Amino acid sequence: MTVGFLALIAAASFSSGMGFSTRLDAAPAAYAPTPSEPSQWNAENMAAVLRIRARPRVSTSGRWSAPATLLGGAMQDTTLWRPTAIYLRGTGAPPPSGSLLAAELDLRFPDRASLPDGFDTANWLAGRGIGLTGRFPRDHEPEVLPRGGLLAGLGRWRDGVQRRLRSDLGRGLPERERSIAGSVLLGGGSMGELRDPFARLGLAHLFALSGLHVGILAGLCLLAAKPTGAGPTVQLLGLAPLLIAYVCLVDLPGSVVRAAGLVLLTLVGPVAGRRIDSLRILGLLLWANVIWQPAALLDTGTRLSYLAAGGIVAGQRTIGPWLRSVRGRRRAVATGLGVTVSAQIATLPEIAGSFGYLPLAGPLANLLLVPIFGLAVTLLAAGLVTGLVWPWAGDAVLACAWMVIRPLEAITAVAAEVGIGCEVGLSSWGPGRHVAYGALVAVLIAAIGLRRRWSGVAAGVAYAAVLIIAVWRLPTGGDLNAWQFAVGQGDAALLEFPDGWTCMVDTGNVWRSGTGPLERDVMPFLRRRGVRRLDAAVLTHGHADHTGGRDALAEAVEVGAWYTAGDARPGPGRQIRPVAGDTLHASGGWSLVCLHPEAHSPDYENENDHSVVLGLCRSGYLLGLWTGDLEQDGERDLLRRLPPIPADGIDVLKAGHHGSATSACAPLLERLRPRLVVISCGIANRHRHPSHGPYLAAAETLATLRTDLQGTIHLRWDATGEFAARAMRPPAAGARRPSLDTPRTAP
């Protein structure tokens, strides 16, 4: 058993960083004909025939997405004949699952992570066996073909049953709880505001269709069959069709397939007259999953599901003998804590690699909230089943579920506010940390298994050491770090001084859905680094692509002071309008100073020329310059106020106005002579930025890095002032567009 548990730990370490990268090499999602021209999506337009593989998910903005199979089509002079899995996105009414579509399609490579250890769309799709994405051109609606075959019929059946069940939920629950209940039981839908507090407590798995839901369904069925005296064979034959139907109803997610298989194989044991080993069954299911869908190993959810289940089984075996000596309520509490701690230990390597933070209050939150959540799910399932026979009784049970969900929401919100202070950011693990972690887990298991007088103390010390290894962060060694984030057509940067002072410069844009790249990408990055407070946030001017994430930033972290200019509206708290000559921070020879606008600057007609310009200086010399969207009128005024510049020029210039031709005038470039120009812009943006052309100084072309092509750019100055820059993605080789090599031509 110990060997099996350690094997699961090794699998987690192996899959999340030791020799096995989940980030596959793939063609870039975008390219530029030359380093200074606007980027384009790496896409092909084609006429295609598709089959929808699963029920489309509809977002709050009205867009839908679904996995699909590209059955055939034509682009230019090439005919596609090999079926290819794609991830399809569209607007309007979603097509039924299983249906056939004829449509004009833009076929693209998925985008990669824009931040170190950030969300990687290509990797997420690879875990589902998908390597391409498809979008319908604007104002183009797909045609649903009349013949869909057996799969279309199954899809219509599944959609019909889902609509019926959701309608039954709507009859007995208010709108908010109806959406939550439908998402919890059937998948998809919206969690509203309830998902985030659960996620902050490490309980997001409750909202993913998982073993908890399958266990409750199986438990209700076996409980109902108990008065009949049904034997193991009857139980198995009655439960198998029901679980298989449920798995199909919710689109075969890996965690539900795993849990249903575990339940059914466990029931096979008594029928066959053999004792069933849960860890062996779990291993058998894992191998079956890999054989059926090899790409599943690339999916974070699949790995977490198997690791958590294996950790719970192994943990209960390890502490089982000790639990039998505990009596009364203490035994129930100890069992609950043992389950959640075992799952936490088994999944820690994957959590560090994929999520980047550890809620230390998670075990206690599980102990308090999981039973209440389980009761709510049980009542919801019982209400649906009862409503099929006695609608009035089903509505009564659903009303009881509503009375449980409402307090659950309140308790979760309060617990999340308390738990946020107990979060610890997790940096990426290297091989040494994985080895140390595995060794400490072995010590922990051995200490508990020996059951000596000192075992409890030794186990506590080993568990504390496991957590310390997980959260240990290496000192920065006096480095000054800056990150220019890839936030699409917008601007956002973070400056982190050696003394720990932090400043966010702009916050990017916001999408129609209400979220944005700051909330999706930047905030998880800050959480991973343990940043829960910013000393300053600068909103350079009042355009939405620089201020759109302001509210999300203010809600997520505490901001010491808001610096604004032009029409920018600050967040809550201390507000400052900086002017040229103000020093935002100074420490150890480093300083961040405001160089524009002047206290009595001209009333520029263009909002861009009101931008706050920040200069990073060392010992009085300018090394880095962030210019917002400053254009040439403002730049001419800025030239008069620049600090001393090193003889070989500054290290980095963040190009003004996303690399537009209206910024970075020749006199400014000749004066600064930057070693590197950083351009923040979006792929195929409607403004066609960058439009400046090559950046020249002293008759030489300056080196450039772009967030649309290279992702987030990390700038670092060490304790001696030595400068280095690293892009998240290496520049694409050559100027030619990579071809879509997945389809093949017909012979």
Q: In CATH, what number is assigned to the domain containing residue 111?
A: 2.40.50
Helix (H, G, I), strand (E, B) or coil at 78: strand
- Residue 443 in any domain: the answer is no
Helix (H, G, I), strand (E, B) or coil at 161: helix
Contact (CB, 8 A) for 558 and 532? yes
Residue 409 within a domain? no
- The verdict on residue 566 lying in a domain is yes
Reduce the DSSP state of residue 468 to 3 states and report it: helix
Confidence (pLDDT) at 742: 36
d(CA 120, CA 520): 11
Tokens of 81: 């004949």
Can you read off the two tokens belonging to residue 531? 């940043």
CB 369 within 8 A of CB 412: yes
Give backbone dihedrals phi and psi of 445, rounded to 5 degrees, phi first.
Answer: -65, -40
- 180 domain residue, yes or no: no
Last residue of a domain, one of 123, 147, 171: 147
Residue 743 has a pLDDT of 34
Domain holding 588: CATH number? Answer: 3.60.15.10
Strands 132-135, 84-91: parallel, antiparallel or unpaired by DSSP? Answer: parallel
Residue range(s) defining the domain that contains residue 113: 42-147
3-state secondary structure of 660: coil
β-bridge mates for residue 34, sequence order: none
Domain annotation covers residue 141: yes
Does the residue 581 lie in any domain?
yes
**Per-residue pLDDT tens over the stretch 251-267:** 777 777 778 888 888 78
pLDDT of residue 5: 44
Dihedral Cα 528, 530, 536, 539, nearest 10 deg = 10
Q: What's residue 38's pLDDT?
A: 94
- Parts of the chain with a pLDDT under 50: 1-25, 733-747
Angle (CA) 708-714-717 rounded to 5° is 150
Q: State which of 109, 132, 147 marks the end of a domain.
A: 147
Give the residue carrying structure tokens 């106020």: 641
- Please state the separation of Cα 516 from the chain's center in Å: 13
Cα–Cα distance, 413 to 415 (Å, whole number): 6
The whole-number pLDDT of residue 674 equals 96
Q: Dump pLDDT digits (tens) for 648-673.
A: 999 999 999 999 999 999 999 999 99
Please tell me the predicted confidence (pLDDT) of residue 18.
Answer: 36
Boundary residue ending a domain (147, 168, 202): 147
Count of structural domains, the chain? 2
558 located within any domain: yes
pLDDT value at residue 318: 74
In a domain, 391, yes or no: no
pTM for the predicted model, two decimal places: 0.84
* Residue 559: predicted pLDDT: 96
